[in-house]
Structure 1
């Protein structure tokens, strides 16, 4: 029964299903109850129950769980005699539970007692005990915690001392070595912040760098160490900063793609990694390494952005090419990430045979070597030569085949534009010297406030919303935001591209790839909108599209349609969803039908969905284009649950869309609110349904950055489709950006709608 509980706990930690942890606790309670008090395995069963209760507390925060975890761990520690080999482990577990409760409630008695029991664990463990370094390291952790609360220098000095002992005792290639080094670095850095002792800071850098460079240990631990190393190296002149950034960049794919559950701590790590990648790009730019900056930013967008959403990983392509290699790599990587000496569950499942320090090192070294062997085999496959390595600029340059691609980097160390041109492997660097990261953030915050005041963000789900009366004109606020974007962001880029005068003829395309807070600003609408509306505007110079990554602009290997006809699926708002009706949705569909009927020679067949989730997914898979005119919803707390409201109030969610396996190409027209909106939980990444459509295989997407007015959408839809279908031939989805450009221009100029109405419409992709 105890073993069953352990297996259930393992599955919970892998998949996060609460039913598993609840059942694990239940069967472990039965194991404890059925075991006599004097049975030699009673302490182990109690400890297993305590571990499961603590795990559930960490997930749900129920105080009853942590109180009971402490109680059963104390029972486990009391039962064995002092010379029992497992006594130190049980005492250490008591300390872990007490530390968790202290961090939740702040009761000093808990942290004092945690220190006492962990001191006992260290004292009782023989010098050659395989877990001695871990007990020393854990004692240092609680001493550091108490120092942060009380500021007693004796605590931080002792924490450093015992953590140095842990580092000395643990072998070089042991999987726990990076953790011990990182904890030592944290204590040294804390001492520096308290005393401004430069020697402590230098030693912290040495500890963090050694942890990050380690050949052993989970990649997530080493990435955290690299991030701390960067933080420290910025505080003093340090030649190690360039190496720290480079190592962090190398570790991101390893920490991100391994197929592990994206628990909160892992997700948070990747958000911080995205910040650091932008800082790394700024550092590379300051050194004149423009290509390096682009490669780092693309890595951030293609790995971090995808993994935050649990989207496609590099393993998907390998799986389709060689499933045996993919499965081997997945399993070995998982064991490397989870198989540290801290994993008591793994040790217990090895028939209670404790591995010595040397045996643990040998096992981990074997796994690491096997992973390198597998990676070497993978990189021998055609097209996978740089598997889990950043793409080079020469590989990324073809992304600019339809027009310049402008990456907007926002870092606390500077804002810059990086331009890729199809005819050149050289990156054009445009410093955005007149705007700072804080100013970009303030622009984003101002826009959010403006939209909220106008009812455009307050409601999580709407398309037919009416404007709320306010005391000031929102257009004036929009003018200010768009003028700042024009003067400080867009105009410098246009000047660098020699686009200084409006083009009276055919406009060229520009693809914007914004990062950080730039991701939530309407770059496409930048301009000077004076009272006479005669000021320069970006739309006078170019047709703007967005892209989440450079790789997303790669040309498909084949067209979305293989015949001389195409199928367009339309999804009008279903009648049974219980929400406000959208008269405009039916008008949109009517425009499309009328247009096709008036041109019977156009080789397009129209199919209409019944509006259920299953039917819409089927239509998406079977049709070439799709037009959705429904209520949209952006889930502020779970990006994967954002999507479209369909029949019966059910949602077509981002998590459903990204599972589609459809042929590449075609247009997705999302005439719904907030389908290109950002997410408050991931404030530095644009996570939405529109970019998910690209991952599902669509070549281009028309979408909205915020809520739209129901009467505006039909005007835009009519104009876009008239342009796309005007010659009676098979339409090209790659002309959608141009069609949207002129449709929005007409809406703004002829219908005189406010900024909040027309600036929401955007094009993403090719």
Structure 2
């Protein structure tokens, strides 16, 4: 799906003419030497001032001729001002006054004395300042209608231009154009000086438009020069140099003349043609011929016609052949010809053209001194050529050189240079290309960083915007493929749509844009359960079909368009009518065309073969035609043979072939096919490079095949898969993306644990179960893990880890609830997500490097690694911890007992065959609850809707299949205890949604779990290993109630609930109550920091697509889980969440415990009382009253008795409402210690 596109920087629009105007004035004015003037002055018996002026002129002439240092030039300037002061009186004389005529003659002599040194001092700023000041003041001496005025204006205009060459000041250039234009306006059309003056003014306009390419300025420049040329032609004068400048102006305007750029290019070509026709026998002919070739080059970029680019190459080659080795234009002509070859290569794919481009660009660079302004341009173009050759041939050295030259070019480019955006854009393409090959994510981040800057600059410059947006969109599309983040794909589509809309159908790049947009639409359709609408795949096919139609048969990307179109047809086939062959047949046809058009040496051919093999495999899977499977195997084998070693897609290729062999095995039961499948899966895992997700999938499938076919090595393969999964769910992902990856591997850990249990590897099974639970919470806990042991050995490293971990923790929690708003323009920088992602990745790279450094310290080899089984087994402190694992193949209980490392294993009946789990799987929404807010008065949130008999059957199944076997294994059924034991349940997989604490056979006496044990739940074992704060240090509790919330049902009993809590708080217990307008999110956050316990009586809302955005509804605000965990709490006790569904997990993520209750546990509370669905509003005060009556006694707060207190409170509620009123008492649960 590589849809890269290149856009090179625009060359300077003209070359310096070989007949450049001399730095001498165009002619000497009619002055006379000082001695002759002296004689005339004496004869005329003029006043003494005349003698003083002549004396000063003599001295000044000598001074100027000898001046070289700044001080000498400044001194000469003072003398010039003195002479002008002496001549000032002649302004009062009449035009016919002899005295004025003599004064003007003296002024002209002074002018000649200055300009006689312009060749020697013309690159000296101080001297040019002197001459400009003199000329500006001298013009005021000239009488109206003076015959030499045009010469004075011309020389002053030229001097300003000379000074602009050094200062690059816009004011100097404007002044130059002003005086040159006035000089030209005063010059008769038949004056032989007209040609040089037109030429000089053309140069000035050229400089102006090159540096400040505004449409109005260019248009005015074109009109002025066109008028001048028109007058000159009427006088039968030929001015090829001015025709050349005019062509250059049209060429430059074409870049910003939206909608009419082709007209300007054609005009440029017309004027360049006229210039060459009038100068074939002159020394300037190579200049005009070269520029004519450039106009054909740009015309090709706009129309894509082969004859234009061929003419461009021929013209520029001929111009280069006529260029002398010492010509100052040689480097620029070499560079321009290299660009033209590069364009032809990018369009038609002849590697010979790319080699020519590199050769010419290298020659140009070798001729450019370090200080030349063009060096950055030459470096960038050379880098672009190496980049294009890498994309074609895949040679590592080429992309290394490409990035080296392109980054050098950027470093040499001024921030206000109009070509900077193109250089950034192209460097971004190189970084993305290197990522496509090797898979290093920092390359992709760098690509996006460069191309984001390029897009903003392109909008300011006003040219090539569609190309820049297209490339930026492609980079976001690639990052979506790597990280599966929704905002990346939506942003890519927004950019691509804009690029398509900015580009006319006649533009040769339109097919590239359409194809890439089609790929993005197809990707969004593939994720339709999370993102897209069902018409996305139809749009994809529409766009990609048009891309194929617009592309010529010789288009270098045609095979890409065909293969991507094939992929879209494959995707639609998979989601369409399974009995219809039309889409899969079309997919195979287009894929075959793509393969047939691509030579074996093309680095993309393996991709097209892979797509073809997958299409054949899809058709075989449905229609079972053996020849399709044979073709799939052949295509995948060829793809592997053509893919370069180390390519990040190599793992995918091995896996595709392995799956095809697996199909063959399932069809024929041929053991050799199974051997091949396992072998290629191992190769997929072991090969260099590759997406971690592909490696994980290959290792998992390999482990599954080994296990199901009773072959050795399954446990080792599962461990390899888990190691790769760590890199799939890495810290570099934002939380919502991590949840997506977890969803993709939802039952993997249960599968792995089942295999380990089968092999009696109970500690290993415990490790794997723990690794598969609450992955996001565990990552956050890791970032807050103490580093005290390391600090005693290496305090500096420990402090660095803590600092980076804190920053990373804040970054994760900040970005979690900041999704892209698709309704906002995609180029708005308001979106925090796009600024946060690169920072987040940089922090992760730094954190990973520091952790690896710590692991090299003796004794810290397992620093921050997942805990091993024996260590996890010690989490049972005051009672048993029971882990329930459930997989299609088996169900088991692993029991951890205090002070024991060994694990007690209890096999359980397969719940997947029992009504309890069937009820959950097939009818969960209707049987357990509805996800709509219940509007019936008296409920807080979601109401239980199961039919009583169905629910009772489910609870009986849980008793018979889980609770009873576990109680028997613990000996709790046979003995009667005064104090009930406390069991902490850790439930995995889909069972985690079921109310185990209510398990029981309600048709028989006493056969209920609550009669034999107090039950708690726990999201992960690591939480139980945290040091537990003593309860006696707690003395402050905050109770927050919100009776009325906008858009939510009234909760009239919240005041009664809070009053009941207050009634139990006696000194020294401090009680804070927040209600109504005082119960804001800010106030709640502050109270959580200050108080030891918290009670929340309000509405709450889970967030299925982003659990971190789950929230409590408070006064005119929400308190999100993200905000709570962003500021970790220390040594807290109880969090009582008397709100709806605060412990309701999300169905797609059963192992994550991604709800408010677990979030409070992670935030720093050790005990949480919560609800798994809606509760009766009037029940809340009763339960709270009974709980706090147990936990607060004699001024002492004891959170460690929370589980027992809730057990007794719900027992009293059961007695009041009836045992089978499950909706009333079952929702209340305890989590934690």
> TM-score, length-normalised on structure 2?
0.52
Question: In the alignment, which residue of structure 1 is the partner of 2:988?
Answer: 515
Q: List aligned pairs for 1:496-515, cutoff 5 A.
A: 496-515=969-988
Shift of 1:500: 3.8
Partner SS state of residue 301, structure 1 = coil
Whether 1:296 aligns to 2:768 is yes
TM-aligned CA distance change 1:320 to 1:208, over 3 Å: farther
State whether residues 934 and 942 of structure 2, in contact with CA within 8 Å, keep that contact through their aligned partners in structure 1.
no
Identify the residue that residue 16 of structure 1 maps to in structure 2.
486
Query: Which residue in 1 is equivalent to 2:998?
Result: 525
- The equivalent residue for 1:617 is 1085
User: How far 1:721 moved relative to its partner?
Assistant: 0.5
Query: Match for 1:548 among 1019, 1023, 1031?
Result: 1019
- Cα shift at 1:199: 3.3
- What is aligned with 2:621? 148
Aligned equivalent of 1:605: 1071
What is the aligned partner in structure 2 of residue 139 from structure 1? 612
- Structure 2 vs 1, CA of residues 608 and 429 (structure 1 numbering), >3 Å: closer, same or farther? same
Is the 8 Å Cα contact of residues 944 and 1223 (structure 2) preserved in structure 1?
no
Distance change (3 Å), C-alpha of 1:462 and 1:633: farther
Indicate conservation of the 8 Å contact 1:513/1:549, yes or no: yes
Summarize deviations over 1:325-350 as a string: whole Å, max 9, x none.
779999xxxxxxxxxxxxxxxxxxxx
Counterpart of 2:303 in structure 1 is: none
Q: Answer yes or no: is the 8 Å Cα contact 2:784–2:806 preserved in 1.
A: no
- Contact map agreement 1:634 1:643 (CA 8 A) in 2: yes
Contact 1:643–1:675, Cα closer than 8 Å, also in 2? no
Contact (CA 8 Å) 2:570, 2:583: kept in 1 or not? yes
The reply to whether residue 37 of structure 1 matches residue 512 of structure 2 is no
> Equivalents in 2 of 1:210, 1:440: separation in Å?
42
Residue 513 of structure 1 deviates from its aligned partner by 0.5
* Structure 1 residue aligned with 2:801: 322
CA distance in 2, matches of 1:712, 1:603: 25
Q: Give the C-alpha shift of residue 647 in structure 1.
A: 3.5
Pairwise CA distance, 1:758:
1.8
In 2, Cα distance between equivalents of 1:523 and 1:258: 33
CA change 1:196–1:462 in 2 (3 A) is farther
Aligned residue number for residue 1162 of structure 2: 695
2:1229 is the counterpart of 1:759: no
Alignment partner, residue 1172 of structure 2: 705
Deviations for 1:5-32, whole angstroms, at most 9, x for unmatched residues?
4324544736533762353024322553
For residues 525 and 1206 of structure 2, the distance between their equivalents in structure 1, rounded to whole angstroms, comes to: 51
Shift of 1:740: 1.1
SS at match of 2:1212: helix
CA distance in 1, matches of 2:860, 2:1142: 33
CA contact (8 A) 2:548 2:558 kept: yes
Aligned to 1:361: none
Aligned pair 1:744/2:1216, yes or no?
no
Q: Does 1:674 align with 2:1141?
A: yes
Stretches of structure 1 lacking an aligned partner (at least 5 in a row): 331-368
Which residue is 2:104 aligned to? none
Contact 1:448–1:457 under 8 Å retained in 2? no
Q: 1:526 to 1:615 in 2, by over 3 A?
A: same
- Post-superposition offset of 1:382: 9.7
For 1:130, which of 583, 603, 606 is the aligned residue?
A: 603
Structure with greater helix percent: 2
CA distance in 2, matches of 1:471, 1:673: 15
2:912 is aligned with 1:437:
yes
2:939 to 438, 456, 465: 465
Q: Tell me the residue number matched to 1:93.
A: 564
| Corresponding residue number in structure 2 for 1:7 | 472
Q: 1:99 to 1:514 in 2, by over 3 A?
A: same
Please state if 1:376 is matched with 2:852.
yes
Instruction: State whether structure 2 residue 882 is matched by structure 1 residue 410.
Output: no
Cα pair distance change 1:262/1:195, threshold 3 Å: farther
- Measured in 2, the distance between the counterparts of 1:454 and 1:75 equals 50
Q: CA deviation at 1:174?
A: 2.6
Report the equivalent of 2:679. 206
Larger RCO (CA within 8 A; separation ≥ 6): 1
1:425 CA displacement: 1.6
CA distance in 1, matches of 2:546, 2:849: 46
**How far 1:659 sits from its partner (Å)?**
3.4
After superposition, residues 139-538 of structure 1 pair within 5 angstroms as 139-260=612-733, 267=739, 269-271=741-743, 273-303=745-775, 306=777, 312=780, 314=782, 321-322=800-801, 376-380=852-856, 385-386=861-862, 389-432=865-908, 434-439=909-914, 441-442=916-917, 445=920, 452=926, 459=933, 464-465=938-939, 474=948, 479-529=952-1002, 533=1005, 535-538=1006-1009
Q: Which moved more, 1:290-299 or 1:570-579?
A: 570-579
**Aligned residue for 2:127?**
none
**Equivalent in 1024, 1037, 1060 of residue 591 of structure 1:** 1060
Question: Secondary structure at 1:403's aligned position in 2?
Answer: coil
Report the counterpart of residue 341 of structure 1 in structure 2: none
The equivalent residue for 2:1049 is 580
Give, in angstroms, the shift of residue 211 of structure 1: 1.6
Could you say if the C-alpha distance between residues 10 and 472 of structure 1 is closer, same or farther in structure 2, counting changes exceeding 3 Å? closer
Q: Partner of 1:343 in structure 2?
A: none
Contact 1:574 / 1:646 at 8 angstroms: preserved in 2?
Answer: no
Q: Distance in 2 between matches of 1:277 and 1:683?
A: 12
1:91–1:121 CA contact under 8 A, matched in 2: yes
* Aligned partner of 1:733 among 1183, 1199, 1202: 1199
- Judge conservation of contact 1:403–1:510 (CA < 8 Å) in 2: yes
Larger Rg: 2
CA contact (8 A) 2:640 2:654 kept: yes
Secondary structure of 2:1168's match?
strand
* Long gaps (5+) in structure 2: 1-464, 788-797, 810-844
In 2: Cα distance, 1:188 partner to 1:396 partner:
40
Deviations 1:180-219 (A, max 9, x none): 0111122222333344444333322222232234342111
How far, CA to CA, are the matches of 1:478 and 1:72 in structure 2? 51
Q: Please, what TM-score do these two structures have when normalized by structure 1?
A: 0.81
CA offset at residue 139 of structure 1?
1.4
Q: Residue 696 of structure 2 contacts residue 721 of structure 2 at CA under 8 Å; is this kept in 1?
A: yes
| Deviation, structure 1 residue 293 | 0.9
- SS of corresponding position for 1:312: helix
Deviation of the 1:157 alpha carbon: 1.0
**Alpha-carbon distance in structure 1 between the residues aligned to 2:937 and 2:1161:** 23
For residues 727 and 447 of structure 1, do their structure 2 counterparts lie closer, same or farther at Cα, with a shift above 3 Å needed? farther
Distance 1:397 1:593, change over 3 A: same
State the superposition RMSD in angstroms: 4.0
Note if contact 1:461-1:633 (Cα within 8 Å) is conserved in structure 2.
no
